[in-house]
Amino acid sequence: MNASQLVAIQVLLDNAAFAALMVATALYWLAAAFRRVPLLHELGTGASAVALLSVTGLLTARWIETAHFPVSNLYESLFFLCWCVLAVHIAAEAFARQRLVGVFTLPVALGMVAFSSFTLTPAMKAGGPLVPALKSNWLMMHVSVMILSYGALMVGSLVAIAFLIVTWKQKDPELRGSSVGTGGFQKAEYADAEGTTPAASTFASLGGSGGDTTVTLTSSAPTAVTALRRSNLAETLDNLSYRLIGLGFPLITVGIIAGAVWANEAWGSYWSWDPKETWSLITWFIFAAYLHARITRGWQGRRPAMLAAVGFVSVWITYLGVNFLAQGLHSYGWLSGN
Amino acid sequence: MTSLWRDIRHEVAAWLGSLKLAIGLFLAIAAASIAGTVIPQGESTDFYRQSYPDSGAVVWGFVTWRFIISLGLDEVYRSWWFVALLLLLATSLTICTFRRQIPMLKAAQNWKFYTEPRQLSKYALRTAIPARGTGPLAEQLRAGRYKVYQRDDLIYATKGTIGRVGPIVVHVSLLLIMAGAMIGAFGGYQTQRMTLAGDSFDIKAVEQSRLSLARTPDWTVRVNKFWIDYRPDGSVDQFHSDLSVVSPAGKELTRKIISVNDPLIYDGVTMYQASWGVGAFKLRLNDSPVLTIPMQPIEAPNGQEAWGQAIPFDKDGRVALQMVTRGLQGSLMLLPFNPRTGETVREAATPARVGKPVNILGQRLVIEALVGQTGIQIKADPGIPVVYAGFALLMVGLAMSYLSHSQVWAIYRDGQLHLAGRTNRAQISFERELVRMVAAVQTPRPRTSDALSAAQE
Ligand code: HEM
């Protein structure tokens, strides 16, 4: 296949991804609005899978065309980030059997593709050879792991935002699954009503809790036999966002380390407080605060989720905002198109 | 008195090791770092005076240059209060590890059997099912890679204790990284050298902190050769310097060709290819000997990089010749001009190539060579091995910290198996695991779907 064919494929897949994401977003939103209409969710998941495949194809074609992993300019990195968000979204949805996630993640993925399609000039979209400073395995690893971590952190904090919305009226939802939290223990209010699932919030049926989240095991014993009380919607969202951020945090750490090692090998200093570097550290500290807030007595409930929401903004500034803020080591013609 | 002192010490340690302080520090360091990315760093006082005036259009109403300078916001990351925040974080980490984490780890290993079903009622995740004994559950737990302890009709099972060790490893590795950074600050130095191919440089004058304990080496470095690889379109692909380290006695100690991302490391000093320039050209005019004339970076009209030098070109000083080149590819532009008016003599502008004689204004001129100048970044940082060890340990610790520590207790009494469990991270997976196990050990053993439909009736 020659280069112009590869470019044509990319244009086609770019449009296909955009269309699939529009459809998927619409389906997830419709499914949230009309909870009783069957199949909307399944179709939404299907459309996001189509989008994921299109973006995979686009990135592969670009990789073959330029002969390097496609993260060397804004266009490529936006599509790679979109790929990560979609992949994490689909994995999280399958893991938590929880379809509310897409209501929040799909618009973000759509926004990325829309931004790269409509605002970047053709010169900024085109692939090209690597500048000398980018020719390093450490650097390629640094950039791709950073973007992967942005994907996990973004989806994780979007789920935390979903948690904030679901628990809007609740004063103090307990978190389950934490080292020192009381969540592993029985709450007083359930002590009387053994085995009943607490009334889930308005989104409950969307979470599919009717089918799967509560499994009541019967017993012929006459004594008060309790069923395993499983997480309700809010608790599921909370634990899902914790696990995703718990995955994103090591990834961003590895990304920062790879960047530091590369900077040391190439520039002679592993840390130079360049704005982008500094923002990745800021993001890192915000998510460290999130992880520790979860295990702080009196800080449980909605507060960690709010920190995660702040982290969502911080990830975006780290990824994009810095290029507008300042000229540093990291701004290799990203927005100038050469 | 001593007991008061002990109380105070206890209070201070409790405050320093508290999670609330840690979170406060994370957010404070993040906020200070944001200030450092918004306010330009390390500029001259004049710059701040102009950009942040104290009257008229005051930025945000209070950010004046006096405000910035007095708080050290022009050099946030080196200000005493920023360093103090980092040191406070290190202190908090150390105290936290000993006062909180190690006890937590010990508590996690310090398990016990429960003997009475009602003791299990404090756990949210618990149930009681008809069963034939503890055997089937123990089997299920072992299959799920739990470590199972059994006594009479009691079970305690655990897995993922390593998930409790992980955060300790993470915290220790962070202390290592900070220690490495301190070693670098006191024992390291850095500097830059621009050197013509063929010349040598030493590493005597360097930038180092006031408290530095570092000693600079007495060997010198000779630049044997410097060259650039160009792409067909004329852009730079890679640049290389051939360096020899030479002892004071003139002996070559080592030799290496360096390029961007591939430095020379000798005696704890690292030499990186950082930049380049055109340092000089060699010229022969008519029958003169070869003259070496230095070149300076100049700004070309289109903003591109260029190097140039003007030389007088006639006896009365009415014509001078500006030599301009864009790199080391070998092409130049010769631009005669009037040094008094600065006017160029357009029609006499002549392109030239290295080695090819040209005639200009009646003279024969050969550029014999363009001599490259290599920009080398020099750095010694004895803290690097410690920092890298910290990096490696940090990644291991984080991987360990993802594992969830799960515990299951069970009591078999009168045909009923009472069980409860808890985990610290992977709540959803743990619930599923437990439900699956319970379904598998329950008697009489109906097919799971029957049990579910029975429940729905
Ligand atoms: C830059 C500094 C720090 C980083 C990057 C860091 C990182 C981490 C990580 C990744 C975890 C595991 C979180 C999880 O369970 O998902 C953790 C746990 C923990 N951290 Fe930190 N930490 C830092 C500083 C501190 C400080 C200063 C304290 C004490 C005041 C502290 C106390 C704890 C405690 C008590 C745990 C829980 C351990 C457990 O769950 O078994 N950390 N830390």
- Evaluate: CB of B320 within 6 angstroms of ligand 1: no
pTM: 0.81
Asked if B177 and B165 touch (Cβ cutoff 8 Å), the reply is no
- Evaluate: CB of A227 within 6 angstroms of ligand 1: no
Rounded to whole angstroms, the Cα distance separating A203 from A213 reads: 13
Closest to A69 (Cα-Cα) out of A83, A59, A78: A59
Range from A153-157, B98-102, B112-116, B440-444 carrying the lowest mean pLDDT: B440-444
**B294 lies in some domain:** yes
- Owning domain of residue B341: 278-374
- Examine the domain organization and report whether B221 and B211 are in the same domain: yes
* pLDDT of A210 above 60: no
Q: How many CB atoms lie within 10 A of CB A187?
A: 12
pLDDT tens track for A214-244: 333 333 333 334 567 677 788 889 899 999 9
**What's the rounded mean pLDDT across residues B50-74?**
78
Rounded to whole angstroms, the Cα distance separating B9 from B410 reads: 43
Rounded to whole angstroms, the Cα distance separating B457 from A131 reads: 68
Q: Please compute Rg for chain A using Cα positions.
A: 22
The partner residues of B297 in beta bridges, in order of sequence, read B307
Better-predicted residue by pLDDT, A94 or A189: A94
Q: Which of B261, B405, B423 sits opposite A266 (nearest CB)?
A: B261
Complex-level ipTM = 0.84
Give the mean pLDDT of chain B: 86
Chain B residue with the nearest C-alpha to that of A229: B125
- Evaluate: CB of B403 within 6 angstroms of ligand 1: no
Asked if A113 and A17 touch (Cβ cutoff 8 Å), the reply is yes
pLDDT for A337 equals 33
One-letter amino acid identity for B97? T
pLDDT tens track for B94-137: 998 888 888 888 887 888 899 888 888 888 888 888 888 898 99
> What backbone phi and psi angles, to 5 degrees, belong to A7?
-65, -40
**B165 lies in some domain:** no
* pLDDT of A313 above 90: yes
- Examine the domain organization and report whether B366 and B380 are in the same domain: no
Q: Which of B19, B29, B127 sits opposite A292 (nearest CB)?
A: B19
* pLDDT of B426 above 80: yes
pLDDT tens track for A83-118: 999 999 999 998 888 788 899 999 999 999 999 888
Positive/negative CA dihedral, A148, A149, A152, A158: negative
The Cα of A285 is separated from the nearest Cα of chain B by a number of Å equal to 5
Domain count, chain B: 4
Name the band, by pLDDT with cuts 50, 70 and 90, for residue A1.
low
- Examine the domain organization and report whether B128 and B186 are in the same domain: no
Name the band, by pLDDT with cuts 50, 70 and 90, for residue A21.
very high
**B164 lies in some domain:** no
Q: Please compute Rg for chain B using Cα positions.
A: 37
**What's the rounded mean pLDDT across residues B205-220?**
79
pLDDT tens track for B145-156: 999 999 889 999
CATH number at residue B142: 3.30.310
One-letter amino acid identity for A119? T
**B308 lies in some domain:** yes
- Evaluate: CB of B96 within 6 angstroms of ligand 1: yes
Name the band, by pLDDT with cuts 50, 70 and 90, for residue A183.
very low
Rounded to whole angstroms, the Cα distance separating B396 from B346 reads: 67
pLDDT for B168 equals 93
**B161 lies in some domain:** no
Rounded to whole angstroms, the Cα distance separating A171 from A166 reads: 12
One-letter amino acid identity for B92? S
* pLDDT of A50 above 90: yes
**B162 lies in some domain:** no
- Evaluate: CB of B17 within 6 angstroms of ligand 1: yes
- Token reading at A112: 């990325």
- Examine the domain organization and report whether B253 and B330 are in the same domain: no
- Examine the domain organization and report whether B380 and B369 are in the same domain: no
- CB pair distance less than 8 Å for B430 and A177: yes
Chain A residue with the nearest C-alpha to that of B192: A268
- Examine the domain organization and report whether B270 and B294 are in the same domain: no
**Residue of B23, B269, B425 to mutate for A, most A C-beta atoms under 10 A:** B23
Closest-lying ligand 1 atom to the alpha carbon of residue B96: 29
Closest-lying ligand 1 atom to the alpha carbon of residue B164: 41
Closest to A329 (Cα-Cα) out of A143, A180, A141, A187: A143
- Examine the domain organization and report whether B228 and B370 are in the same domain: no
**B71 lies in some domain:** yes
- Examine the domain organization and report whether B130 and B86 are in the same domain: no
Rounded to whole angstroms, the Cα distance separating A106 from A108 reads: 5
- Examine the domain organization and report whether B386 and B436 are in the same domain: no
pLDDT for A179 equals 45
* pLDDT of B212 above 80: no
- Examine the domain organization and report whether B284 and B242 are in the same domain: no
- Examine the domain organization and report whether B10 and B98 are in the same domain: yes
Q: Which of B123, B426, B428 sits opposite A186 (nearest CB)?
A: B123
* pLDDT of B141 above 90: yes
